[in-house]
Amino acid sequence: MFAEVVDGMDVVDKIKGVATGRSGMHQDVPKEDVIIESVTVSEYRGDTLYCRSSSLVEEPAITAGFLRFLAGEARKADALYILGDLFEAWIGDDDPNPLHRQMAAAIKAVSDSGVPCYFIHGNRDFLLGKRFARESGMTLLPEEKVLELYGRRVLIMHGDTLCTDDAGYQAFRAKVHKPWLQMLFLALPLFVRKRIAARMRANSKEANSSKSLAIMDVNQNAVVSAMEKHQVQWLIHGHTHRPAVHELIANQQPAFRVVLGAWHTEGSMVKVTADDVELIHFPF
């Protein structure tokens, strides 16, 4: 039961087996799947946790909290899935940034403890490659992955492809995901890539400052289309930084979209059991 995992659970919403709440994590956490979206292949028999971490480069407090998570709850899991944006930016696996080595070692320790680790690229770290994946003991997954959990088909993804109203971002995404352009960028000297990345981040912040929140959120039709494409009634994603559980109709049946939160002032995770899907926030 979830009460055995979370201490002081305060349920703020519960609909058809879906619960959202805020709590601290109990020390005696049982075996579970964990998804870290930036922190959620097959069927498992434990509880399932989905959580998110981001901005590890610029926010030492978040990094420290995430490392504690990796050293604690994550090692008690059945599996660890990272849904992108683990890092503020990624300019190549050859970047000697000490934080990258620290994070790789921490994730590898989770993998070495017997917990398989998986990664779906985000919009900030879409260039993360096989070299870092090997170093950290992670398996790279496609941008859309369906899991079978306790009789549920659950689609997991980063979520940026659902924001189809943001035409400018989608055009940019289409360009930077061209294989030939990525190869060209990664062939540049590291110092040049750093300058380009810094300029791109600045341009992105400036562009987003003038966009409405609605434009940068998911498009409902895109959500339904993705769920019907994969024949699922459950979708878990991140990217928008708007943690919530949304009820909708897909495949002519009730369906649920669970949005992971960003690790800014607290941690965020989703726990899936045979009975419930719970969105939880907890202190670092």
- The answer to whether 241 is annotated as binding is yes
- The answer to whether 47 is annotated as binding is no
260: left (phi over 0), alpha (psi -120 to 50) or beta: beta
Q: What are phi and psi of 79, to 5 degrees?
A: -165, 155
- The answer to whether 22 is annotated as binding is no
- The answer to whether 123 is annotated as binding is yes
Nearest to 156 by CA among 67, 79, 88: 79
- The answer to whether 195 is annotated as binding is no
Could you tell me the two tokens for 139?
């398996």
- The answer to whether 85 is annotated as binding is yes
- The answer to whether 251 is annotated as binding is no
- The answer to whether 173 is annotated as binding is no
Burial 87-100 (b: 16+ CB within 10 A, else e): bbbbbbbebeeeeb
- The answer to whether 13 is annotated as binding is no
CA distance 260 to 66: 15
- The answer to whether 124 is annotated as binding is yes
CA distance 27 to 204: 40
Binding residues: 85, 123-124, 158, 166, 204, 208, 211, 239, 241
Binding residues for substrate: 123-124, 166, 204, 208, 211, 239
Binding residues for Mn(2+): 85, 123, 158, 239, 241
